[in-house]
Amino acid sequence: MDLEILESQALQLLREATADFGIMASPEAQDNYRCLWSRDAMVAGIAALPFEEPDILEVFRKSVLTLAEYQHPHGMIPSNVLPDEGDPDISYGGLAGRVDATSWFVVGALHFLRHTGDGKLKRELQPNLMLALEILDRWEFNGRGLLYTPLSGNWADEYPVQGHTLYDNCLRLWALELYSELYDDEDRAVQSRIIRERIAINFWPDSSVIDHPAIYHKRCFEEIAESELQHFACAIDPRGYNRHFDAAGHGLALNLGLADSVQKEKILQYTRKIFDEIGTNLLPAFWPVIKPGDSAWSELKDNYSYEFKNEAHHFHNGGIWPVWMGLFGWGMSQNGNTKPAEDMLTSWMEIENPESPGFCEYIASDSLKPEGKERLSYSASGLLFLLQAIKHNNH
């Protein structure tokens, strides 16, 4: 397996997905994938930064500027936008707004500014970044530090996850820490330290902190602490804890250094169990699979707009999304452990053609066949994250 060829293939797809307004979700004319999606474009830009490609860096810049241009007066960033001088097509979400579109914009813009040192753009973007962080503050709703995401309010818009999600709260923490560092904002630095503590305590309940004032849901916290979690919880809502494994949330948490050495080892042990169940070293977006008869099935089966995609082992429901698998591998490499990334890349390329990867949307975790859309910037980004973990091992 030639890593240079894989790198070239992923970067080439991003080049083909470029437009005057930024990085499209795909170079192919399929559905609305030729729009600029905040999440996809920012993830692609971040994943490509260490590879120092001037043309991709420039289109990353255009992506940031386009999203800033179409920021809503309230502060949220479009989930997707197709610019047009006369009648731009702008969406801030479907039946629910997309919380992560705003967070990814902040994280992506700050990565770009930190990488380029563009002082002029830093000054120009600060009002947009401040407004975005302010709407994220309001989405706490109770003012206690953790963001609250509605059902269908992030990338997994057809999956039953809501409330204080690991993914959205880690993403916002990343945004706050980057902003406070780049703009030397002490108030945001203090806020980020408080939120870091709240995430660390609440998403992995431990009996040693059972009386900590930062605990959100004390009754359920105590129940979970007694059961000894093997990974971070997926979400917390008024009903209690969602104990599913969330690959994207863990990728972010690991990149942020939220897991100590004992927790990292438990996470690795849990992912090995998943690999054993699947039969290969590929990490699903969420685990375990929700099946008919499970308590969450009724929430899952009616949560779609056009067609039901979440059969067991498919799409959000146990589907293996290269983008989040890559982010997880990158996160695990932060302390030098590149083996998870190496193993996942090897297993992925046993399914793909290493000479010409299809960059499918996801892989079904039962058949191990590529599914969904093909040639996605999102999936090329996942490959770049894995290559970063293996070749660069930097943050």
CATH of the domain at 282: 1.50.10.10
Confidence of residue 392 (pLDDT cuts 50, 70, 90): low
pTM: 0.97
Confidence of residue 385 (pLDDT cuts 50, 70, 90): very high
Helix (H) or strand (E) holding 370: strand 370-371
147-194 confidence digits (pLDDT tens): 999 999 999 999 999 999 999 999 999 999 999 999 999 999 999 999
Measure the CA–CA gap between 126 and 134, rounded to whole angstroms.
12
Using a 10 angstrom Cβ sphere, with 0-12 exposed, 13-18 middle and 19 or more buried, the burial of residue 239 is exposed
Q: Which of 80, 6, 18 is nearest to 44 (CA)?
A: 18
241-269 confidence digits (pLDDT tens): 999 999 999 999 999 999 999 999 999 99
DSSP codes joined into one string, 70-89: T--TTSPPPSEEE--SS--E
Measure the CA–CA gap between 29 and 24, rounded to whole angstroms.
10
286-287/245-246 β-pairing: antiparallel
The number of domains in the chain is 1
Confidence of residue 21 (pLDDT cuts 50, 70, 90): very high
Task: Provide the residue range defining the domain that includes 376.
Answer: 3-392
- Read off the tokens for 287: 């685990």
User: Has residue 395 got a pLDDT over 80?
Assistant: no
Three-state DSSP at 286 gives strand
Confidence of residue 32 (pLDDT cuts 50, 70, 90): confident
- Read off the tokens for 28: 């192919």
Measure the CA–CA gap between 338 and 332, rounded to whole angstroms.
7
